Each structure stands twice: as structure tokens, then as C-alpha cells.
Amino acid sequence: MLSSGLAADCSLHSWIAGGRQERRTIVSAIGRVGRHCGPPLAYFSVFDFMAALNFNFEALGNPLLAVQEMAGQGTRLKWEFLADELGYYLLLVPLALVLWNWLKPKSPNFVTLFTLAGLGYLILGGLGAAIFGTALAATTDAYAQATGTEQQIQTELYLVLTSVVQGGIWDRLGSLLAALWWIGIGSLIRSQRRGLGWATVILGASTLLSWLGSIVEVEALQLPGTMVYLLLAPAWAAYLGVDLIRRPIAAVDQQPSSNGTGA
């Protein structure tokens, strides 16, 4: 009877260990996909978007000129914004969860708050890219086929779409959530990986600058922050993914405070 109980106990532990190993394997596989595919997709989306604008940098700040440059390129925009959706947003979700799992012993409530902000940024950002990849692509194709008043209507639709997605979802809300996530998480990583922590904080500061520029409507603030974000975010994700696999972040032996805040 005792031997049967021991056998059952060993089987239970083996099953649990096997489940943990399977989860680690899945997370590792997702991490490899994100590390290898995310940054190239992100950079491709930026390059291809500029190619769709015929590398007319003036069109970046002029929606009327942008819709003229992108007219008839709906199929291209669908693929470009799919790359943006994956490269800048959705493929970072597993990384956000890994950071939460490893850093939460240090300050459970704050790490959870920062992670929720990060997940909000990633989900909203992906949603915005999905909207652009469908509605914006259809609008630019319709603009190419329209004339006169109909073309003016498509232009107005384009302006509304860019105002809602870029001005509202990405700039005003997404940038603020991203800043909270990266600055908060970066300040915690910094105690263990100083260089990586500062890089994360700088990335968060760039999105905060972009957010502030969008609020006060000062392009001299918003544009530099956005450019740093576009260039640094994919490189940060790739480096962090490699770093976490080679040297997993050690959980900090710090218990939550007596009031249960963990801060």
C-alpha cells in the first residue's frame, strides 16, 4: 500500500515536472520566434511604409500629401501593417509576460501594474495596426479610383482614420502606457543589468516625449521621441530576448511589504 502511494506521488511529481518543462519549451519557442522575426518585421514595416510614400518625408506630417502618395497601394499597406502589428506589438507579448514572471518577486504590485500597462500598449498598438491594415488600405484604393467629390470624401475618411488611430490610440494612449511599462520595468532591471535597464528607461523616455509632444501638439518634441522609439524598440526586444535566454534574470529575494502592496 505504501509503495503504491510512493509510486503515485512520484508519478504526480513527474507529471508536474513534465508540465513545467513543456511550458518552458513553449515559452522558449515563442521567444525564439519573437527574437528572430519581430525586429526584422518591425524594421521592414518602417521601410515599406516609407517606400509606399515614395520616401517623401514631407508626407509624414501632411496627411493630404500622404494619401496621394499611397493611392492605389492597398495590398501593399495590408502586408506592411501586418508586419507592424507583429513586429512592434504582438510578438512582444510573451516577452512582457516573461519579464513580469521574473521581476514580480521584487515588487509584485508595481511589476504587475507596469506589465498591465505594457500589455495595454501592445494590444492597443496591434489593434491600431490592424485597423490601418484594413480600413486605411481600402481608403487609399478607393481614393485612387475616385474623382472630384468622391475623392474628397475618401480624403476625409483618411484624415479621420489617421486621427483616431495615430492621434488617439497610438500617440495619446499607447505612448503613455508604453512609457509607464518601459520606465517602470527598466528601473527594476537596472539593479541587475545596469546597461539593459538604462536602455529600457531611455526607450520609455522616448515614448513619454512622443506622448508629451502629441498632447501639447509640438512636433519638435513628438518627432524625436517617435524616431528613437521606431529605431530602438526592435533592437531592444532582440537584445533582451537573447539576454534573457543566455542569462535569465534572477528573482530578487524580497518579500512583499506587510501591508501587502509589495512596493
- Check: CB of residue 136 under 8 Å from CB of residue 158: yes
- Residue 237: how many CB atoms within 10 A of its CB? 21
State the pLDDT at residue 34. 55
Query: Cell 524616431 maps to which residue?
Result: 227
200-241 per-position pLDDT tens digit? 999 999 999 999 999 998 988 999 999 999 999 999 998 887
Looking at the chain, the whole-number percentage of residues with pLDDT higher than 90 is 50
62-121 per-position pLDDT tens digit? 888 888 899 889 899 999 999 999 999 999 998 898 889 888 888 889 999 999 999 999
Describe the crossing of helices 93-103 and 2-52 by its angle, rounded to 10 degrees: 130
DSSP string, the chain: -HHHHHHHHHHHHHHHHHHHHHHHHHHHHHHHHHHHHHHHHHHHHHHHHHHHTTT-GGGGG-HHHHHHHTTT-HHHHHHHHHHHIIIIIGGGHHHHHHHHHHHTTT-HHHHHHHHHHHHHHHHHHHHHHHHIIIIIHHHHHHHHH--HHHHHHHHHHHHHHHIIIIIIIIIIIIHHHHHHHHHHHHHHHTTT-HHHHHHHHHHHHHHHHHHHHHHHT-HHHHHHHHHHHHHHHHHHHHHHHHHHHHSPPPPP--PPPTTS---
81 closest CA partner among 140, 155, 131? 131
CA 119 from centre of chain? 8
